[in-house]
Structure 1
Amino acid sequence: MSPAQPGARSGAAQRSRPASLLFLLLALVVAAATVVLPAAGRAHAVSRPSQTMYTPPSGAPSPGSLYPRGLRLKYNGSANGTILATFEQYTNGTPVFPIYRSTDNGNSWSKISDVADTQNGWGMRWEPELFELPTAMGDFPAGTILAAGASVPADRSAIKIDVYASTDRGQTWSFVSNIATGGAAFDTNGNTPVWEPFFLVSGGKLIVYYSDQRDTAHGQKVVHQVSTDVRTWGPVVDDVAMPTYSNRPGMPTVARMPNGNFLMTYEYGGAPEGNFSVYYKISSDPEAFGSVTGIPLRSTDGVVPRSTPYVTWLPTGGPNGTLAVSAYNTGDLFLNTQNGAANTWTRISSNVASGYSRGMVPLADGHSLLVLSGGNGGSNLSNPVTYSTIDLGGGTSDGATYTVSNAGSGLKLTIAGGSTTNGTYAT
């Protein structure tokens, strides 16, 4: 898929635990507290109210903003825990990816820099991706921040997925390499663009997954390339390529699970469950998704989400942790505590509006999830970038304990004098 402004992007499908009164009162006192319960259908949670990071200026082209992404620093010493975010910023000038920073767990944000197109003069227009190198790679130290995305001229006559790097935690940026180059940036079959990069490091290699329309045998497919120095890239390898030419798998994201497997989500244009239904694959090798058969993501109450999926993993929820998936056609999140096993996905309400390719960032407490939305694609829009935090709780699975905490500070509530006997309720 890609671009969702008028005449640009398609693919948007457009395109229990009992508790006492005291327990409940304590939860109200800390309005950001929440408990998430495993359930067959939709669960409910209380989360930090939605807030606004960016509002487009008057006169900005529709849709104003779209496609937010974020990351929490883990390999930057004293700056660990800092969150960086970016998004598509629609402007009458040459577009850039603005970089925003939060040093208070996502409560407040300030703009610190822009990722500008210094190579093509076209602008960094669509589909930003942020990534922090966990180890040194080539001449880049651990903690280097990578920003990639689609450089596209105003007439959309070409597209390049280019990479920029920052070694000062996002304050300045320099061009590193071009990953892939495509033709006219229109997503109808027969054109040859490339879209939607996503990074993963495994086995000392940097893997970039993206959507590719350059193969004449496929309207679009999901592929990856590999680098060991961020500057040179290996051959294109198929990850999802359908036998029917008109089908359009795209928008890949990947999460690593504690059992050593990797889960890739993607949208499947032409899926029998509905156009652009969310599918996923599980592989022990993140470079071998092509040998795995994809399956639809279906919640236990029968819902199959559609379009622009994003997956991430949090350590809460039991020995397997929790996979969380967002999609375009709903504000709900889809959760799985069984390493992605089919028929074990549940739904939970989030406090952030649905949006075209929402971003998600697990926070340092291990159970809180920052969700960012840039709204929908379309005409006559002025989308702000909004965000909130949903607390997935500290449970470990069926019958386990649950944690109540403040989503802003990550601090847990204490009930003085409570019994330590297993199974005793708060009183």
Structure 2
Amino acid sequence: MVRTSSVVAVFAHSVVASAQSYSNPPEPWGFFVNNTIYQPTGNQSVTYPRFTELQDGTILATTSFTGPVPPYFPVFESKDGGASWEYISDLTDQVNGWGMSAQPALSELLEDVGGFKAGTILGAGNSWNRNGTRNGTHIDLYASEDRGRTWQFVSNVASGGPPNTTNGATPIWEPWIQNYKGAISVHYSDQRDPLHGQKLAHQVSYDLQTWGPVVDDVAIAEYMARPGMTVIAYIPPIAKYILVHEFPVGNSSSYGSHYPVYYVLADDPWSFRLHEHQPIVVQTANGSSKAPNASPYVVWSPYGGELGTIVVSDADSSSVYTNRCGGCLDGWKEYATPAGAVYSRAIHILGDYPDHLMIFGGEVYDDFGLHKLVPFSATVVDLGVIMGDKKGGWSDN
């Protein structure tokens, strides 16, 4: 669906207005807190932020955006490390008539795949009908060959039943797009397997048109277990990929978290099934154990020593969780940040600035439907300051 020009004008005005509202505007490639990308109005809300950094340092960011019917994913661009943002397009549902309902994903092709050249931007999301009959969940793939200005439907990756988180229902959720060896894999949460209430799986394509069989990534023998929300990063010093996911098991909790965050290390992003997942656990000041909770995100930075730093975010706190020993089980530490909690909060290490940690902002899960109008925002903090290696404050430049 094509939006009217009046809605386009709303986006353009909001981005400009947010930039002008700062008495001390964020500096390009600097550090800043809660820089507004888009300010929701009316019944709009933003959550589940996602992004990709292009090879030239340009950042494209989007979000699950509720309010419009049918829904879509607005796309914004920053060429200065998140200091300023420009609205550039909408990623819309072009095939189902349902809208792009939730859980966006963005990635840049790093190699030619099929007829698509390196530099093509890939977008995906979960399409379902929010109004009337909920006919299914479709993870569809789109491509942009003009840096996110326009989008074309490419293929349906996978389809499931209507959105329903009850065990025994058959939807699919939460796509993640992964480049690997001249192919693309799309990883997602899958409720269709009768042996598992939910599992993590992926499918591979060498042409973006046809997709291989469903391959398990994390599938727990206990039916009630529901690993969810795959995010993957590469750790060069140890030549391993890390997958993080939440791991609810019925009504139980782990280290005080109902959706504790686990991780898996593997030699490649297609073989996580061969390795055991492990919990992220930190020791608190009073000697107790704590686990991050829900919708994790993971990145790796070369900053922080020989093995760099793994950084994990969760949905329920402003903190981040770091590991400087290549993912060793007892190496996790928690550090405060000035950014707020967000449902499925995304984080990013700027490509040319390994100590610049970007944290995207939006609404928390419990505020859905309350019309709090929390901005889609970006915070950039110094990873060295966060972890206590350097002296400084949140707003140092």
Query: Normalised by the shorter chain, which TM-score bucket?
Result: 0.7 to 0.9
- For the residues of structure 2 that align with 1:404 and 1:379, how far apart are their CA atoms? 38
Q: Is the 8 A contact 1:218 1:244 kept in 2?
A: yes
1:358 aligns with 2:342: no
1:371 aligns with 2:355: no
How many Å apart are 1:300 and its aligned residue? Answer: 3.8
1:90 aligns with 2:66: yes
Question: Aligned partner of 1:148: which letter?
Answer: A
**Deviations for 1:106-138, whole angstroms, at most 9, x for unmatched residues?**
001110000011111110110000101111111
1:269 aligns with 2:245: no
Q: Is the 8 A contact 1:353 1:375 kept in 2?
A: no
- For the residues of structure 1 that align with 2:180 and 2:393, how far apart are their CA atoms? 33
Q: Where does residue 239 of structure 1 map in the other structure?
A: 217
Q: Where does residue 198 of structure 2 map in the other structure?
A: 220
RMSD: 2.5
Q: Where does residue 210 of structure 1 map in the other structure?
A: 188
**Larger Rg belongs to:** 1
Q: Is the 8 A contact 1:124 1:151 kept in 2?
A: yes
Where structure 2 has 5 or more consecutive residues not aligned to the other structure, the ranges are: 1-23
Counterpart selection for 1:109 from 75, 85, 106: 85
- For the residues of structure 2 that align with 1:325 and 1:144, how far apart are their CA atoms? 28
Counterpart selection for 2:129 from 128, 149, 153: 153
- For the residues of structure 1 that align with 2:206 and 2:100, how far apart are their CA atoms? 24
1:281 aligns with 2:264: yes
**Deviations for 1:132-170, whole angstroms, at most 9, x for unmatched residues?**
111111111111110100011124331100011111111
- For the residues of structure 2 that align with 1:394 and 1:283, how far apart are their CA atoms? 30
Tell me: CA distance 1:85–1:31, structure 2 relative to 1, closer, same or farther (3 Å): closer
Counterpart selection for 2:370 from 360, 375, 380: 380
How many Å apart are 1:203 and its aligned residue? Answer: 2.4
Q: Where does residue 51 of structure 1 map in the other structure?
A: 35
- For the residues of structure 1 that align with 2:61 and 2:278, how far apart are their CA atoms? 31
Q: Match of 1:50, SS?
A: strand
**Deviations for 1:221-260, whole angstroms, at most 9, x for unmatched residues?**
1001111112111100111111121111100111111111
How many Å apart are 1:383 and its aligned residue? Answer: 3.0
Where structure 1 has 5 or more consecutive residues not aligned to the other structure, the ranges are: 1-28, 33-45, 75-79, 410-427
1:71 aligns with 2:52: yes
Q: Match of 1:285, SS?
A: coil
Question: Aligned partner of 1:387: which letter?
Answer: A
How many Å apart are 1:394 and its aligned residue? Answer: 9.4
Q: Where does residue 157 of structure 2 map in the other structure?
A: 179
Q: Is the 8 A contact 1:324 1:335 kept in 2?
A: yes
- For the residues of structure 1 that align with 2:354 and 2:391, how far apart are their CA atoms? 11
Q: Report the TM-score, using the length of structure 2 for normalisation.
A: 0.84
How many Å apart are 1:406 and its aligned residue? Answer: 10
Tell me: CA distance 1:405–1:355, structure 2 relative to 1, closer, same or farther (3 Å): closer
Q: Match of 2:101, SS?
A: strand
Q: Match of 1:393, SS?
A: helix
Question: Aligned partner of 2:273: which letter?
Answer: G
Relative contact order (C-alpha < 8 Å, sep 6+): which is higher?
1
Tell me: CA distance 1:408–1:53, structure 2 relative to 1, closer, same or farther (3 Å): farther
Tell me: CA distance 1:140–1:243, structure 2 relative to 1, closer, same or farther (3 Å): same
Q: Match of 1:248, SS?
A: coil
Q: Where does residue 8 of structure 2 map in the other structure?
A: none
Counterpart selection for 1:121 from 89, 97, 108: 97
